[in-house]
Amino acid sequence: MYKTFAALAAATALTATAAFAQDLPKEVKARQGQFQIMAINLGILGGIAKGAIEYDAATAQAAADSLVGISMVNPAPLWVEGTDEMSIEGTRAKAEIWDNLDDVVAKWNAFGEAAKVMQAAAGEGPEAIGPALGTIGGTCKACHDAYRAPQS
Q: Which residues bind ligand HEC (CB under 6 A)?
A: 28, 31-32, 35-36, 38-39, 42, 91-93, 104, 107-108, 111, 136, 139-140, 143-144, 147-148
Contact 123, 61 (CB under 8 A): yes
Nearer to ligand HEC by Cβ, of 14 and 76: the residue is: 76
CA distance 25 to 15: 14
Nearer to ligand HEC by Cβ, of 55 and 143: the residue is: 143
Least gap, CB of 3 to ligand HEC (angstroms): 36
Sign of the alpha-carbon torsion through 116, 117, 122, 124: positive
129 CB neighbour count, 10 Å cutoff: 25
Nearer to ligand HEC by Cβ, of 27 and 124: the residue is: 27
Nearer to ligand HEC by Cβ, of 4 and 89: the residue is: 89
CA distance 126 to 85: 39
Least gap, CB of 83 to ligand HEC (angstroms): 7
